[in-house]
Structure formats: C-alpha cells, structure tokens
Amino acid sequence: RIKHNEYVVIEPNHPYVAGDEVLICTTDGQCMIKTFIWLRDGQYRFDSINDDFDPLYLFEEDVERIHYVGAIAKPSRYSP
C-alpha cells in the first residue's frame, strides 16, 4: 500500500481508534506502519497492511510510541 518514494504524513497529537493506520516504534528500535486493532489488558494488537503477515501482539512496555498516520503522499507532492 505504501510504495517506494512515497511519504507518510504522521500526526503525533491526533488520537487514533480501532481501524486507524499508525506508526509504531518499539523499545528495540523497530518502526513500522500497522493498523491499530485494540489495547486490552496491557497488550496491543496490530494488523499488517499486507495480508501476508500475521497480526502483531505487543505489550505496552514494549511500545515506545504510536502516532496516527494522516496521509500517504506521492513523491510529486514533496517540494523542498
């Protein structure tokens, strides 16, 4: 869904709900775009945008930050 050279617009102060795409950064340094499904009993569930991957379950303490993905922009939209 996100193609090479496209830009992901992150909105750090925007709330997110189930079904929203989010940027997740973990305490071990990984960052990825996933679909937020739920937070329950101290554990998150995220689904991959790519259906070839299984759901990702992370404990709250393993997540450094989560930010809302506001848009995916084409390379032509970027002008330095």
Q: How confident is the model at residue 77 (pLDDT cuts 50, 70, 90)?
A: confident
3-class SS at 25? strand
pTM: 0.90
pLDDT, tens digit, for every residue of 34-72?
999 999 999 999 999 888 999 999 999 999 999 999 999
Domain 7-72 CATH (choose: 2.40.10.10, 3.20.20.70, 2.40.50.140, 2.30.30.100): 2.30.30.100
Q: How confident is the model at residue 79 (pLDDT cuts 50, 70, 90)?
A: confident
| pLDDT above 80 for 1 | no
Q: Domain spans of the chain? A: 7-72
Residue 78: the pLDDT is: 81
pLDDT, tens digit, for every residue of 12-30?
999 999 999 999 999 999 9
Other beta carbons less than 10 A from residue 19's beta carbon: 9
